[in-house]
Amino acid sequence: MKDYIKIDEWKIIEEGFDPHVHKISESIFSLGNGRMGQRANFEEAYSGETLQGNYVAGVYYPDKTRVGWWKNGYPEYFAKVLNAANWVGIDIQLDGEQLDLAKCEVTIFRRELNMKEGYLKRNFTAKTASGKQVEVEAIRFCSMADDETGAIKYSVKSITFNGEITITPSIDGDVKNQDSNYDEKFWDEVSKEARQDGGCVQMRTKKTGFEVATGMKFQIVGGEVSSEPIIKEKYIASVVKTQMKAGQTVTIYKYAANLSSQNHPTEQLSTLTYAMLDKVAAKGFDTMLAEQVAAWAKKWEHNDIIIDGDVSAQQAIRFNIFQLNQTYTGEDDRLNIGPKGFTGEKYGGSTYWDTEAYCVPFYLSTAEQRVTRNLLLYRYKQLGKAIENAKLLGFDNGAALYPMVTMDGTECHNEWEITFEEIHRNGAIAFAIFNYVRYTGDEAYLADYGLEVLLAIARFWSQRVTWSDDKQQYVMLGVTGPNEYENNVNNNWYTSTLAVWCMQYALEVADKVKATDKTKYDALVAKISFDADKEGAGFKDIIAKMYYPYDEKQQIFLQQDGYLDKEQILVKDLSASQRPINQKWSWDRILRSCYIKQADVLQGIYFFEDRYDIDTIRRNFDYYEPRTVHESSLSPCVHAILAAKLGDEKRAYEFYLRTSRLDLDDYNNDTEDGCHITSMAGTWMSVVEGFGGMRVRDGKLSFNPFLPEKWNSFSFNVGFRGTTIKVTVSKEGVRVKNLSGGDISIMVYQKEYNIFAGQDQLLKP
C-alpha cells in the first residue's frame, strides 16, 4: 500500500518526483476518450523505468498462444490490444544535452489529473548534469469532442540556461508490447511522411491487418525557429531549434490524430488524418480544451457522486467514475471494456465477464440506454463465434459458449481449468440481458436480439449437465466457479444456479415473445431450428431435477461438493505474513485450502437476492465472508452490497474502502500494470446499491439507504427510463430531486412516492 497521492476533491495530485512510483503514476494518471487512450508517459525522453502505452480501441494483435502443455480446444492466440504509435513524444535538448528526468536533479515536480475538466498537467523544475536549469509545464488530453485526437501544450522556461534549445516532436511507431509472447513487434510500417510542421506514420498490425495512421501537427511559440524534418524506420519527427535566454519561455502545441482502418477506408487514412489535424489545429489548443471541459461537465452532470465529509472518499469515487468514462463511451458496439482499459497491457484489453456482471449496472444508471444496449449487441454480434466455440468443445444444436476472454468473439484464454470450465461467464451474459430489460423496460430487445442469445446459452447448459443415476438428479461436473482458487470442481452452486436460471429465463422470454410478437418468434424459431416442445421439455426436466449442494446442518448453500472436507481455518486466523496467498503459497496449497478468491456463492445471492429471505442471506454471508481473501478486485463490492443489505453498515463501509482507493493507494501492489477499471464499476455499485440500497423492483427504482458514519451526506444521480433523479442521503433523511421533465414513482424505505417533474422531496424512514 502507498499513500503518496495527495487528497483533493477533483484532482489526483502527485508532488515530488519519485522514480520508484513512476510506473504506478503512469497508470493512475492515464488518459482516454473511449476511442484511444494512453498511460501517463512523459513527453520528453525518460531513461528510467517506464511502461510505454498508447492504445487504439478495437485494434488488436493475435499473439500466438504460449503454453507449457497443449490441450485440445485451446485457442490459437490471445488477442491483445496493442501498444500503438507513441504520439506524445517531445524530445528536449539544451545545447545538445537531453532533458531526461532520470538524469536530472528534479527540484519541483507536480503531476495533476484534473478529473473535472479531463486533462493531465505536469510541472517540474529540473537541472541537467551540466547545471542547465529549466521549468516545464505540460498539459495534455485525449479529446472527448474529437475522439480520434489528442493535444499537448508543452512549455519550457529557462531559469539559468542561455543557448540553443532543440525541440523534437515525433510520432514513433517502433513500439512493442511488454507482454508479447515471443518478443515480437506487432506492427509493420505502411508509410511515413515528415513535413515542416508535422507528419504521419501509417502502421499495419501483423496478421490482423488493421491499419492506423498516427499524425501530428505542431506549432512553436516563443522564438525564431528553424525546423528540419527527419525520418527513420517507423518514425518521423521534426527537429526544431531556437535560441533561449534565462527567463524566456518556448511553447510547443502538438496536435495528434489516430485514425484506424476500422473506421475509415484504408487508402484514405493518411489524407483523413491530415484533414483531422488541420481541423483541430485550426480550433487551437484553448478551444479544444474548452470543448473538453464542456464535454466532461456534461458527463459529470449525470455521473457525479458527491460525498460530503470525506475528501479521500470523494476523490476515490470520482477517480473510479472518471476512469470508467475514459474507457468506454458506448459510441461503438464493436468496443468493450478491458479490465485495465487504456491503462496497461495486462488482460490484453480484452472482454471478460466483468463487463456484464459489474460494468452493466454502472452504465445502465449513468449513461443513456444505448450505451448498455451496445454492450449487449457486442455479444449478440459474437453469437456465431460463441456457437463455433461450443462446437469446438463438442456441443451442438446451436449451443453457445461465450469465451472467457475475447476481442472479436473468439476464445483467447488458454488455461484449461478456466477456458473450458469457468463457464459461469455464459450465465453473466444472460443475466445482463435480464438486467438491461428489467432496468430499461426495453422488451423489444428480447424479440430482436435477446431471445436468440438466451436460447443458445440455454442449449449449452442443457448439454453441459449430466444425469446422475446415483442421485437421480442432474449434476454439473468439472467446473470452476468465480472463485478461481478452486478448479475442476463438481456442482459449483453458483454455476448450477445460474445455469438453471438461464434455462428458466430463456423459456419465459420465449413465451413472452411468442405472445407479443409471433412473427419475430416464428422467424427466430425457424432460423435456429428451435423445437419449443421437445427442447423446452428438456430444459424443464433439468430445471426440475437439478442438484444443488447444500449443508443441512448449517443451512447454507455449499460452494461445491466436498467444500466442507477442507480444513476450515478462517482468514482472520491466517498470519498476515501468508497473504496475499496468491503470492505466498504454491498453487496446489491454494487449491486445497478453503480460501475463496472472490464472491462465489455470494455472487449468486447478489444476482438473485429477491429469492432469498434475510436469514438465508445472513447465514451464507456469515459463513463465506470469513473465508474470502478478496484477492480479486471484483470481490469486495459484492460483499459491501450484501453487508449493507444485512444492516452491517460498518462492514459495508470497510469493503467499500477496499475497492474505492484500490489503485490510488496501490493496495494490491499491482497498479503499475494498469488500473482495475472493471472493478471501478463495483465501487460505484457499493455506493449506489450498497449505501444507497438501490434496486429495481416491479419496474420501479427502490432505495433503502443509510449514511456511512464518517460522511455528512452523499448524493448520486441515476437515470431510469427517461427520467433522471438526484438522490441525497444525509442526516436529515433522503432527498430526491427529479431533474427531468416527466414524473417518476419510486420506493424509498418500502414506501411509494411520486416525484413530479422538477420536484424536490425530503423523505424519512
Report whether 332 contacts 374 (CB < 8 A). Answer: yes
Number of H helices, E strands in the chain: 22, 33
DSSP secondary structure code for residue 10 in this structure = S
Residue placing its CB nearer to ligand BGC in the complex, 218 or 353: 353
Phi, psi of 485 (to 5 degrees): -85, 15
Question: Radius of gyration (Cα) for the chain, nearest Å?
Answer: 27
Q: By C-beta, is 215 or 482 nearer to ligand BGC?
A: 482
Q: Give the number of residues in contact with ligand BGC, rule: CB under 6 A.
A: 12
Q: Does 624 sit near ligand BGC (CB under 6 A)?
A: no
Given 83, 303, 492, 598, the residue binding ligand BGC (CB under 6 A) = 598
Pick from 352, 363, 684, 691 the residue near ligand BGC by CB under 6 A: 352
What does the block give as the cell for 135?
A: 521549468
Q: How far is the CB of 600 from ligand BGC (least distance, A)?
A: 10
Q: Which residues are catalytic?
A: 484
**412 in Cβ contact with 348 (< 8 Å):** yes
Q: Which is nearer to ligand BGC, 484 or 666 (CB)?
A: 484
Toward ligand BGC, which CB reaches closer, 285 or 352? 352
**E strand or H helix that includes residue 133:** strand 133-142
Which segments of 10-53 are extended strands (E)?
11-15, 31-32, 36-38
Query: Distance (Å, rounded) from C-alpha 575 to C-alpha 567?
Result: 16
Rounded least distance, CB 507 to ligand BGC, Å: 28
Contacts of 8 (CB under 8 A, 6+ apart): 311, 315
* C-beta closer to ligand BGC: residue 660 or 678: 678
Rounded to a whole number of angstroms, the minimum distance from the CB of residue 335 to ligand BGC is 17
The CB-of-405 to ligand BGC minimum distance in angstroms stands at 8
Least Å from the CB of residue 352 to ligand BGC: 4
CB of 499 to ligand BGC, least distance (A): 18
| Region of 305-313, 345-353, 379-387, 496-504 interacting with ligand BGC (CB under 6 A) | 345-353
Q: How far apart are the first and last CA of the chain?
A: 39
Distance of closest approach, residue 625 Cβ to ligand BGC, in angstroms: 17
At residue 483's C-alpha, the angle toward residues 629 and 365, to 5°, is: 90
467 strand-pairing partners: 474
> Taking the CA of residue 655 as centre, how many other CA atoms within 13 Å lie in the half-sphere pointing to its CB?
35
Q: Binding segment for ligand BGC among 34-42, 329-337, 352-360, 750-758 (CB under 6 A)?
A: 352-360
| Binding residue (CB under 6 A) for ligand BGC from 237, 556, 634, 725 | 634
With CB under 6 A as the contact rule, the residue among 119, 353, 445, 485 that binds ligand BGC is: 353
- Specify whether the CB–CB gap between 39 and 177 falls below 8 A: no
Q: Which listed range, 351-359, 376-384, 602-610, 693-701, lies at the site for ligand BGC (CB under 6 A)?
A: 351-359
Question: Checking phi first, is residue 408 left (phi over 0); if not, alpha (psi -120 to 50) or beta?
Answer: alpha
Shortest Cβ 142–ligand BGC spacing (Å): 23
Binding test (CB under 6 A) with ligand BGC, winner from 158, 355, 632, 668 = 632
Least distance in angstroms from the C-beta of 537 to ligand BGC: 34
Q: Which is nearer to ligand BGC, 498 or 718 (CB)?
A: 498
Tell me how far CA of residue 592 lies from CA of 167, 451, 494, 567, in angstroms.
59, 40, 19, 8
Distance of closest approach, residue 560 Cβ to ligand BGC, in angstroms: 16
DSSP annotation of 330:
S
Nearer to ligand BGC among residue 63 and residue 97 (C-beta): 63
Query: Partners of 457 in the beta sheet?
Result: none
- Residue with cell string 525522453: 45
CA distance 466 to 474: 5
The nearer residue to ligand BGC, 168 or 495, going by C-beta atoms, is 495
Site for ligand BGC in 58-97 (CB under 6 A): none
Q: Which is nearer to ligand BGC, 198 or 481 (CB)?
A: 481
What is the pattern of x (binds ligand BGC, CB under 6 A) and - over residues 473-492? ---------x-x--------
Per-residue b or e along 51-86, where b marks 16 or more CB atoms closer than 10 Å to that residue's CB = bbbbbbbbbbbbbeeeeeeeeeebbebbbbbbbbbb
In the complex with ligand BGC, which residue's Cβ is closer, 140 or 630? 630
Quote the DSSP letter at residue 356. Answer: I
Q: Residue 350 or 715: which CB sits closer to ligand BGC?
A: 350
Minimum distance of ligand BGC from residue 339's CB (angstroms): 4
The candidate with the shortest Cα–Cα distance to 459, out of 523, 391, 522, 512, is 391
Please check whether residue 397 is in contact with residue 371, taking contact to mean a CB–CB distance below 8 angstroms.
no
What is the smallest separation between the CB atom of 679 and ligand BGC, expressed in angstroms?
7
Q: How many CA atoms lie within 13 A of 752 on its CB side?
A: 7
Distance separating alpha carbons of residues 101 and 302, to the nearest angstrom: 39
d(CA 244, CA 523): 74
User: Distance of alpha carbon 128 from its chain centroid, rounded?
Assistant: 39
Say which residue the cell 436460447 belongs to: 455
C-alpha cell at 765: 424512514
Q: Give, as ranges, the residues between 323 and 342 that touch ligand BGC (CB under 6 A).
A: 339
Contact 83, 176 (CB under 8 A): yes
Site for ligand BGC, residues 657 to 686, rule: CB under 6 A: 678
- What is the C-alpha to C-alpha distance for residues 366 and 177, in angstroms, rounded to an integer? 33
Task: Tell me the residue number closest to ligand BGC, measured at CB.
Answer: 339
- Using the rule CB under 6 A, give the single segment among 220-228, 244-252, 350-358, 442-450 that binds ligand BGC: 350-358
CA–CA separation, 338 vs 80, rounded Å?
A: 10
Residue 90 or 602: the one with the smaller Cβ distance to ligand BGC is: 602
Nearest Cα neighbor of 298 from 493, 189, 438, 144 is: 144
- How many angstroms separate the CA atoms of 34 and 537, rounded? 44
Q: CB of 336: closest distance to ligand BGC in angstroms? A: 12
The interface mask with ligand BGC, positions 437-476, x = CB under 6 A, is ----------------------------------------
Q: Considering beta carbons, is residue 347 or 547 the nearer one to ligand BGC?
A: 347
372 and 378 Cβ atoms separated by less than 8 Å: no
Among 63, 147, 354, 452, binds ligand BGC (CB under 6 A): 354
DSSP-assigned letters across all residues of 688-716: IIIIS--EEETTEEEE-----TT-SEEEE
Of the listed pieces 14-22, 96-104, 348-356, 578-586, which binds ligand BGC according to CB under 6 A? 348-356
Question: Which residue in the set 322, 347, 378, 474 belongs to the binding site for ligand BGC (CB under 6 A)?
Answer: 347
Q: Which residues bind ligand BGC (CB under 6 A)?
A: 339, 347, 352-354, 482, 484, 597-598, 632, 634, 678
